[in-house]
Structure 1
């Protein structure tokens, strides 16, 4: 029987070269859980693992079981614990080097990932894209496989459902809009492989929705400032703009609003 999303701690083949194991860590922030992507061209003997997931032995055991421990490289999309917490368990089990943008997460012979770098591993060509906004160290990966297979792994920059929380730093939204524009330029003909939520056979419309949604939220924040006054704080804006959102998610919404306010106020 073909598995469908969500399928916890089971290997679900998505494209000829990309399979996913979904961690059993659902929440309001992680959606159904964190997707760990296992990349390997047909006929290759080793995998590239993208995001080992949370610190959860059952998840690590599932990754070792499904790969047979034959992992050439571990790549990290960004620093959050639901993506990086499982690093040391997986490294201990397999001895695999880990590469990330942030040196905190490097293991073994792994070196820091750089924008535009091309990695040849597991029979695949993987190109690194810097896509900050959700976090400053956020990366996405272009996957090019045999027979013209093309996919886009977006980490938390673009999810399979819902929208992305931004860091509260002043430049986060400007960075994020640049990242979305970069991703949409690469999206045509690529399968979307996000770090949370279901995959999508066509990445482009999902990313275009993200761009439109972000512009809509900006306009809502501008309208709230006109109503509440130009000095209104982020929490008052959240209560106005996100009134229909579960209040348990308001702290995350406040982070995004802080980034949007900084963006609006820096541009007059």
Structure 2
């Protein structure tokens, strides 16, 4: 008599897994469709987007200097790559929403209460890191790099290499600005608490300067411009732990 029940349970599990896979496929298709639609809308403006992206460097190049393309297809392919990156950047709220819609039904109430603000904060902080890199760090870094160019050497950067460098900087600064989210997650899973975070402040400062020295171009200005916000964001993360983790723990105990 037990065998039919086991077969029925296994069929239910297979149907549940199949329904989850169908939902995941649907969510991925919606996210991908959003990226494609935004990409198609941005393709006519791809060259203009690249001009705006190159503005921090072009403004600091010597008179008559310009970017170059060392590969035959670079003038066509590189702006398209930028348009694709921009479409991912713009579509990220929809991508994260689809991910949240798929995962949230399996979370407890207190987990949802903590995950919602963390997800929104992670997105906003990543955007803030990219904007910080574009408007403040890159101009300072290019000013330094053009100033230290040896006499007799003309600085002419390849457009593909420039795009790769700027995208790497955006990604690095976006991740570094996620410090408060990382601190809250570590506290939420019990690895650290508020007292440990406060006592570890000096190590966080040293770590921030070490990371910024590794990521930024080789000038002290760029390093300080990343390290100081990371220290501030660490303190913000400590405050967020006090605001978010204790109520969540209390609600779990209840």
Quick check: which one's helix share is greater? 2
TM-score range, shorter chain: under 0.3
Higher strand share: 1
Q: TM-score, normalised by structure 1?
A: 0.26
